[in-house]
Structure 1
Amino acid sequence: MSKIVVVTGAGAGVGRATVEEFARQGYDVALLSREPQRLERAANHIRAEYGVRALPIPTDVADPQAVEAAAARTESQLGPIDVWVNVAMATVFAPVSSLSAQEFERGTKVTYLGQVHGTMAALARMRTRNRGTIVNVGSALGYRSVPLQSIYCGAKFAVRGFTDSLRSELLHDRLKIRLTMVDLPALNTPQFDWASNKMGRRAKPVAPIYQPEVAARAIFFAATHRRREIWVGFSTVKAILANRVAPALIDRYLASAGYRGQLTDEPLPQDAPANLYEPVPGEYGAHGRFDGQARPRSIQMFTDRHRSAFWALAGIGIGSCVSLLVRRRRN
């Protein structure tokens, strides 16, 4: 019997790449996103390409009733949910002084509460069977905030806090439900073309940039292996660890470099799309406009996936060095 996965934000970006990865691995997929035509195209593609069942369900994850209805429909039409992946996000590129309370509320509802709603819908079903996996998607920016992304950073910090609380509760209740989190680096997705932007210049991810398939492979790995958390890309590792060591220094660095690092020299078109409140139609897929700069793989992710072998080899190398030093001292 095939396994069932639900992916939110499935119409484009990381969500779209994640749909592809799970379908490639033989999973039947429920696709949740707001734009129905793009969702249908994605579902048709994986049906034809991989022969799996695909159920597109237009859903705004900010609406808990809609998420609950999507979970119920998935189980009635596909079967019991094995994996739920929370990917959907929305943000605004702007300083806090230029943002409205409504924009904060909407971005937080999608990026943070969307993951809460998805987790609660999945958990209600997984508890009855005492099995299943929930993957929450975080970010390096959930550990180290940057200017111009206060909505997104605040939401990702909240996701991390929520996930840690729930993990302890699952352990307390001795449930066999696995909860994991995947923290992502800068990615080549359509986010930088359709996210609301008040800066007058087009947005860009901060290098190094990775292809969304790197994130999708990490998400699938997290869903199928016992990992509490996965940091994807050395840039994520460096951002998290550097902030632990010298947060004030990073504050000052980002005050100087944080604006230009996220903006191109290209003026923002007057009719630039914005998907905060309404989905943006069009032929968007997993990738954004940075294919020429994006890396197709992460060495750090490889070492995490094969960490037993990596540490064994590292141990052998360290042992060899120690033996060599001992022999030299004796001589």
Structure 2
Amino acid sequence: MSNKLIVTPSPHVKDSVTTQSIMGNVVLALAPAMVASVLIFGVRALLILITCVVSCVAAEYLFEMVCKKPNTTKDLSAVVTGVILAMNLPSSLPLWMAAVGSIVAIVVVKQLFGGIGQNFANPAITARVVLLISFTQPMTKWVSPNFGTAAFDAMGGATPLAVMKNAGETLPSLTEMLLGFHGGSLGETCSIALLIGGLYLIAKKIISPIIPASFIATVFVLTAVLGQNPIYHILGGGLFLGAFFMATDYVTSPVTDKGKLIFGIGCGVITVLIRLFANYPEGVSFAILLMNIITPHIDNLTRNKAFGGAY
């Protein structure tokens, strides 16, 4: 018989969008920030990027081979983790530390919990926090670009958030903040590159604008109310990177619109509290990680109830 009855489980309606295509768009959205980081910090930034991506992909491949699990490196999720982790690291970090962070992200945070879709927290954020706690001095040794000479030169320097917190140096201009001509991690300097990438993801409907908009707006409003310069708090630090590329992770963020709004506001509140009242000048990674942990509770509180069902 040519016509056979095919019985398959749901879903019966499928879309052309795949994990690989989504991750590919995220890498494309991060491309302006990657190019900017190399232009600003030189070849050292490129080495950090290559180390993190190669280590993440290798760690995923070897773990799945040893555990006799299907190879998932082709879905590009490990590549995205490597790029985002690299964007959270200073260009002066020893390469072996970047490799250790990559292994933590893939093996400890992602694969030990079942692989993609099963991790309770964003792998790149968790790895950054682990590196920050384990190697505090190298992780807080910032490099500032020096464009006063024809050749690239680098010198130690504080981030704009550290300057605002300690009031010891002159803040860079807003133009320098937009273009990234100041100290910081690879992905917290060129704000305009991150904004272009974030808007691309929203335009392609890869991410919802609710989380980044509520996250950034909360930081802006709270810092203004507390007497800070909100523009510098928006452009300084890892807010754009976190709001567009880390807080919007499908697995570790709420699924409902109301939940996304709560998540974004929560991230913003925690970020401001850490920036202004804690010893560490930046709080984006800690804020997202803490909100990742309570995401299941946010989903339970905001999920739609079936009509006629019990509340």
- What is the TM-score of this pair, normalised by structure 1? 0.26
The structure richer in strand per residue is: 1
Q: TM-score, normalised by structure 2?
A: 0.27
